[in-house]
DNA sequence: CATCGATGTTGAG
DNA sequence: TCAACCTCGATGG
């Protein structure tokens, strides 16, 4: 899935075009029929992302909690925001659908975002296995392939939140940094593993994990207890920076100070976008040493053995 | 066209 | 520690 930044963008999409509206909620696939019936006809009152968890709040203290997992995705159509409009994070009401009258946009939001073929009529027929469809008078959102899609009461929401460490978008004060530093430094577990532990810090996935550790030149195998306060603070600050940039840009650009040409290249090609992620066997962009890859707790870890000590 | 692997988590054993 | 979840782009024939 979707590391932390994309879920925040999805929440923004819902905030702009669904919150305040009455929703017809259904489960075209059928696997969420009972849950959909609980929410059907209610007004959406808020949309919020905490790390990779999405919470859609409806009237009567009901919440839809969604986690996209590895390959879940939301498809939006109708009056929705384009990538650029979402990046403004403001009140720009510009939508694809409003540009050129009868053409209605379809926009897919998962790890990548992309415009799909225009739809001919509204609402469009569900494509594939749609677990949940949320339909308003002029917008529709289809959810496919989620790991979690559950109706929660406030206590259930709190229970889910309690499992999460700080998320720099929601927790931006010194307290959050302090919590992160403590969470890291009390554990005798490799920092590469701790960054993926959502109770230590929420929202980091495999790509951000590899890139953050390279950017701070930290050995992924170094135990949390041996990470200095300075290193831990730097990791938190850098994560906060990358996450805010990811929400703004709609993609993970983890290399700083690129030339104009390299920046464009990075936007085009995923292989030119990262320092170490998915670059095993290729030369380190800093020192030329071969980037290594190994399994760490079931996920692939990428790092430069020379620069990260 | 078949197969593989992926940005993630859960629960069984 | 590993399979399951059940989608889809990339890869190979």
- Is residue A92 over pLDDT 80? no
- Is residue A226 over pLDDT 90? yes
Residue A10 belongs to some domain of the structure: yes
Percent of chain A having pLDDT more than 70? 91
Q: A119 pLDDT band (50/70/90 cuts)?
A: confident
> Which among A161, A188, A210 is the end of a domain?
A161
Q: Å between A250 CA and B12 C1'?
A: 37
| Strand C nucleotides in reach of protein CB atoms, 7 A cut-off | 1-3, 5-8
Q: Are residues A56 and A87 in the same domain?
A: yes
Residue A292 belongs to some domain of the structure: yes
What pLDDT was estimated at residue A256?
Answer: 77
Minimum mean pLDDT among A41-45, A49-53, A169-173: which range? A169-173
Q: Are residues A210 and A129 in the same domain?
A: no
What pLDDT was estimated at residue A27?
Answer: 95
- Strand A139-144 to A73-78 pairing: antiparallel
Gap between the Cα atoms of A173 and A163, Å rounded: 19
Q: Are residues A22 and A81 in the same domain?
A: yes
pLDDT digits (tens, 9 = 90+) for A278-308: 999 999 999 999 999 999 999 999 999 999 9
Residue A34 belongs to some domain of the structure: yes
Residue A308 belongs to some domain of the structure: no
Q: Are residues A187 and A58 in the same domain?
A: no
Gap between the Cα atoms of A128 and A130, Å rounded: 6
What pLDDT was estimated at residue A253?
Answer: 85
> Which among A108, A142, A161 is the end of a domain?
A161
Q: A268 pLDDT band (50/70/90 cuts)?
A: low
What pLDDT was estimated at residue A111?
Answer: 77
Gap between the Cα atoms of A73 and A1, Å rounded: 8
- Longest pairwise C-alpha distance within chain A: 60
Q: Using the C1' atom of nucleotide C6, identify the protein residue whose alpha carbon is closest.
A: A145
Comparing A198 with A250, the larger pLDDT belongs to A198
> Which among A143, A161, A179 is the end of a domain?
A161
Task: Name the pTM for this structure.
Answer: 0.92
- Is residue A45 over pLDDT 90? yes
Token digits of residue A147: 């790991």
Q: Are residues A100 and A196 in the same domain?
A: no
Through-space distance between the first and last CA atoms of chain A, rounded to whole angstroms: 29
- Is residue A100 over pLDDT 70? no
- Told to judge if A3 belongs to the known catalytic residues of this protein, a careful annotator would answer yes
| Strand B nucleotides in reach of protein CB atoms, 7 A cut-off | 6-10
Near strand B (CB < 7 A), which residues? Answer: A 1-3, 51-52, 67, 69-71, 111-112, 147-148, 163, 196, 198, 204-207, 252, 298-300
What CATH number does the domain containing A39 carry? 3.20.190.10
Residue A309 belongs to some domain of the structure: no
How many domains are contained in chain A? 2
CA-nearest of A296, A7, A1 to A167 is A7
What pLDDT was estimated at residue A97?
Answer: 40
Q: Are residues A123 and A220 in the same domain?
A: no
DSSP states along A20-89? TSB-EEE-TTSTTHHHHHHHTTPBEEEEEEETTEEEEEETTTEEEEEE-TTT-EEEEEES---HHHHHH-
Q: Are residues A80 and A182 in the same domain?
A: no
- Told to judge if A93 belongs to the known catalytic residues of this protein, a careful annotator would answer no
Q: Are residues A153 and A245 in the same domain?
A: no
Asked if A145 and A127 count as a contact pair (C-beta separation under 8 A), the reply is: no
Gap between the Cα atoms of A47 and A240, Å rounded: 21
What pLDDT was estimated at residue A86?
Answer: 77
Q: Are residues A156 and A185 in the same domain?
A: no
Q: Are residues A149 and A186 in the same domain?
A: no
Phi-psi label, residue A224: left if phi above 0, alpha if psi -120 to 50, beta otherwise? alpha
For residue A49, the enclosing domain spans 4-161
Q: Are residues A16 and A125 in the same domain?
A: yes
- Strand A105-109 to A73-78 pairing: antiparallel
What CATH number does the domain containing A203 carry? 1.10.8.50
CA-nearest of A40, A1, A19, A26 to A125 is A26
Q: A99 pLDDT band (50/70/90 cuts)?
A: very low
Residue A103 belongs to some domain of the structure: yes
Q: Are residues A210 and A103 in the same domain?
A: no
């Amino acid at each position: 899935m979707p590391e932390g930044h994309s879920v925040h963008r999805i929440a923004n999409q819902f905030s702009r075009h669904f919150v305040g509206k009455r929703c017809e909620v259904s489960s075209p696939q059928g696997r969420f029929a009972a849950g959909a019936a609980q929410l059907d006809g209610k007004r959406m009152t808020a949309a919020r992302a905490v790390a990779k968890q999405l919470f859609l709040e409806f009237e009567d203290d009901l919440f839809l909690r969604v986690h996209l997992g590895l390959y879940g995705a939301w498809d939006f159509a109708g009056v929705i925001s384009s990538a650029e409009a979402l990046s403004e994070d403001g009140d720009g009401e510009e939508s694809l659908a409003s540009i050129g009258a009868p053409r209605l946009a379809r926009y897919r939001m998962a790890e990548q975002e992309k415009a799909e073929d225009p739809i001919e009529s509204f609402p469009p027929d569900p494509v594939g296995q749609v677990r949940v469809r949320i339909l308003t008078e002029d917008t529709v959102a289809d959810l496919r392939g989620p790991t979690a899609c559950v109706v929660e009461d406030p206590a259930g929401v709190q229970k889910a939140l309690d499992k999460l460490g700080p998320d720099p978008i929601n927790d931006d004060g010194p307290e959050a940094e302090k919590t992160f530093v403590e969470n890291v430094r009390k554990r005798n577990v490799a920092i590469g593993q701790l960054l993926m532990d959502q109770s230590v810090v929420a929202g980091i996935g495999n790509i951000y994990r590899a890139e953050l550790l390279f950017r701070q030149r930290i050995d992924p195998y170094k135990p949390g207890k041996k990470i200095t306060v300075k290193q831990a603070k730097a990791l938190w600050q850098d994560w906060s920076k990358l996450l805010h940039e990811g929400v703004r840009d709609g993609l993970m650009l983890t290399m700083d100070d690129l030339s104009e040409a390299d920046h464009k290249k990075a936007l085009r090609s995923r292989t030119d976008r990262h320092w170490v992620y998915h670059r095993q066997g290729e030369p380190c962009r800093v020192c030329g040493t071969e980037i290594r890859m190994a399994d760490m707790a079931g996920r692939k870890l990428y790092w430069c053995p020379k620069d990260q000590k």
